[in-house]
Amino acid sequence: MKLAVISDVHGNYPALQTTLQHVDRWQPDVTVVNGDVVNRGPKSRECWQLLSARRSSHGWHIVGGNHEDYVGHWLEEAPDLESPRFQIYRSSYCTFRQMNGLVSEICDLPQRVEFEGPNGSLVRLTHGTMQGNDDGIYLQTPDNQLLKKIAPAPDVFCTGHTHRPLVRRLNGTLVVNSGSVGTAFDGDCRISYAQLTWRKGEWHTEIVRLNYDRRQAREDFEYSEFWRDGGPLVEILFQEWLMARPMVSRWAKRYENAVLAGKIDILASVSDFLEAEI
């Protein structure tokens, strides 16, 4: 049996196209898209439509991620366009508008997928952890914390969210983070996805890294509605993609509370942050 796991596409259409070509050549028995198809990048609608078509035609599974939650939130809340909070979350509102009526589809996605593998092994896939879609598993996560994040422990636990691939084994559970198709955070700009194969009575994992057309991906960013209307933080999202390392979380630690309190304008905070980081 062969299982392909892709996650964290984040509106990167050229990267998604390259990933699907590679998956097609490998010919897995099961393919799971493990959350965060949309947002952070410029082509969310196109990525969603492509993967939704694969779900219909090939039986692919799609799991909801925290960014589907962020975009879906705007179905319930009218934006206050002048508020500092809106400026912080403006990129997700831009994605909401780009989706043009398809947001209800991403809101209906399941939070996890489980299936029985060979020899009765239980395989579970969720975007974050059992503690939530915005909770991550890292190489340095202590074993006692990891046990809580995957409980009740299956034979295989596949996650995403952190944009950093990893493979760990703990008390008989194989833990796999497939990394990110669209925006890696481990310093390697290439696509990352996971191939799991049942062989000789156990699961084996390969993290696949792929080059793709980053020139086209950059043009998609720079000439997009997302760049034009997504707000000041889009510049940081672009630098994250360009440098393959997390930056928005560091901006938030330094500036988010100050922006919300009106102590600094968000545009000035982004300018100060990028001047210090780049």
Number of domains in the chain: 1
Query: Is the CB of residue 135 less than 8 Å from the CB of residue 128?
Result: yes
Tell me, yes or no, whether 217 lies in a domain: no
For residue 278, what pLDDT is reported? 85
Residue 9 lies inside a defined structural domain of this protein: yes
Please check whether residue 263 lies inside any domain of the structure.
Answer: no
Mean pLDDT of the chain: 97
Say if pTM beats, i.e. exceeds, 0.85: yes
Are 35 and 64 a contacting pair, CB within 8 Å? yes
Q: Which whole-number Å values give the CA distances from 254 to 77, 230, 248, in the listed order? A: 27, 21, 10
- In the chain, pLDDT over 90 holds for what percent of residues? 97
Average pLDDT over every residue of 183-212:
97
Please tell me the predicted confidence (pLDDT) of residue 175.
98
Query: 228 in a domain, yes or no?
Result: no
**In angstroms, rounded to a whole number, what is the distance separating the alpha carbons of residues 212 and 16?**
9
Q: What is the domain extent for residue 11?
A: 2-210
Nearest CA to 224 among 97, 79, 116? 97
* pLDDT (mean) for 31-59: 98
Asked whether residue 224 is domain-assigned, the answer is: no
C-alpha angle 152/157/158, rounded to 5°?
A: 145
Say if 141 falls within a structural domain.
yes
Q: At what angle do helices 233-243 and 266-277 cross, to 10 degrees?
A: 20
- Note whether 33 and 181 are within 8 A (CB): no
Neighbour-count burial of 77, counting CB atoms closer than 10 A to its CB (0-12 exposed, 13-18 middle, 19+ buried): exposed
Task: Tell me how far apart the alpha carbons of residues 265 and 267 are, in angstroms, rounded to a whole number.
Answer: 6
Report the pLDDT value the prediction gives residue 208, as an integer from 0 to 100: 98
Instruction: Tell me whether residue 252 is in a domain.
Output: no
Q: Tens digits of per-residue pLDDT, 204-244? A: 999 999 999 999 999 999 999 999 999 999 999 999 999 99
CA-based R_g, the chain, Å: 19
Mean pLDDT of 158-180: 97
Question: Average pLDDT, stretch 100-125?
Answer: 95
How far is Cα 259 from Cα 169, in angstroms, rounded to an integer?
42
> Is residue 153 domain-resident?
yes
The pLDDT confidence band at residue 57, using thresholds 50, 70 and 90, is very high
Asked whether the predicted pLDDT for residue 22 surpasses 90, the reply is: yes
**What is the spatial distance between Cα 107 and Cα 67, in angstroms, rounded to a whole number?**
10
Residue 49, token pair as written in the block: 């439509």
State which H helix or E strand residue 173 sits in: strand 173-177
Q: Is 161 left (phi over 0), alpha (psi -120 to 50) or beta?
A: left
The answer to whether the beta carbons of residues 133 and 67 sit under 8 Å apart is no
How many residues are present in the chain?
A: 278
DSSP H or E segment with residue 104: helix 103-107
**Distances in Å between the alpha carbon of 265 and those of 145, 232, 259, 262?**
37, 10, 6, 7
Task: Give pLDDT, residue 219.
Answer: 98
CATH of the domain at 69: 3.60.21.10
**What per-residue confidence (pLDDT) applies to 102?**
96
Q: What is the rounded CA–CA span in Å between residue 175 and residue 133?
A: 16
Per-residue pLDDT at 274 exceeds 90: yes
Q: Find the mean pLDDT for residues 172-193.
A: 98
